[in-house]
Structure 1
């Protein structure tokens, strides 16, 4: 993309383009290293863990609260746009009937004016009908709103691949350390 063309893209969209183009290392290459406490990076880290917990707890209301009103999910495919649409489309994931989804961050980067952040990490999917696992990585772009809350504005992941028992154990061993944890 030319420099002239990049300057016409609004800041948040430019970050999203760069974040989605970011080469993603495997979980083994990017060990979970929590950021220092009391930083914007830590706030996003904790918010990502809270977002994952909303799905683990099957809490549709908490899940929706993490979404920016104009969030876009599945941005590499045909995106779903808007909090209500995403919440409806994710209903089977949040309630666990379509798939059991777990994830946690292993990298958070805050950029720009300090109100935009990128997070990524491993994700584990389990088919409730067969019990089989798949694993992949997620990518999210967060925006801090006027009320101080960080909300997901862009979200996507790679296509998950089959996971053997060793991959499941490696995921569970990482488990998204809290801020300030070694």
Structure 2
């Protein structure tokens, strides 16, 4: 069998086996806005120091800090984030700037700015986050992967730009 024929056969088999998930444009927008809101709710769980709500946003097998040495699992992540959730180690705020639904309709990517404040000194730093969300069989979106870029010192103008972006509505709505 020639390489071309083997490749064609493999592609044909993949197309037959793989389910087709055509997602209508209105369903894409609806799902992206659902993830947008879920991301805002996730950030609110930290702002309100609610460890239970924080954990409810995590996939049981989530991995955080995926570009380095990841922390794996809902319980381990919640433990590691305890000082952020209660605000003693760091005051962290973030919001989505973009949400994109994957072709399967069950996976989405969200990204946006993050503001880090040292609770002792008040020093502000800005970074960005990126999260992969997965919709469970129960219809609830949960974070599966999370990471970010290291924050950099932020001046008053940069902090104000962050604050000006808070509360933006889902652009897909």
- 119, 123, 126: which one pairs with 2:117? 126
TM-score between both structures, scaled by the size of structure 2 = 0.82
> 1:46-83 CA distances to partner (integer Å, 9 max, x unpaired)?
00000000000000000000000000000001000000
Gaps of 5+ in 2: 1-6, 8-26
Q: Is the 8 A contact 1:105 1:176 kept in 2?
A: no
CA distance in 1, matches of 2:29, 2:99: 14
SS of structure 1 residue aligned to 2:67: coil
Q: Aligned pair 1:174/2:165, yes or no?
A: yes
Q: Aligned pair 1:48/2:39, yes or no?
A: yes
Deviation at 1:37, TM superposition (A): 10
Higher helix share: 2
Alignment: residue pair count: 149
Q: Is the 8 A contact 1:110 1:116 kept in 2?
A: yes
Name the residue aligned to 1:105: 96
Deviation at 1:177, TM superposition (A): 1.5
Q: Aligned pair 1:135/2:126, yes or no?
A: yes
| Moved beyond 2 Å, runs of 4+ | 178-182
CA 1:170–1:180 in 2, change beyond 3 Å: closer, same or farther?
Answer: closer
Name the residue aligned to 1:67: 58
> 1:19-44 CA distances to partner (integer Å, 9 max, x unpaired)?
xxxxxxxxxxxxxxxxx997000000
- Higher Cα radius of gyration: 2
Name the residue aligned to 2:80: 89
CA distance in 2, matches of 1:155, 1:180: 22
> 1:120-141 CA distances to partner (integer Å, 9 max, x unpaired)?
0000000001000000100000
Greater relative CO, 1 or 2 (CA 8 Å, sep 6+): 1
TM-score between both structures, scaled by the size of structure 1 = 0.78
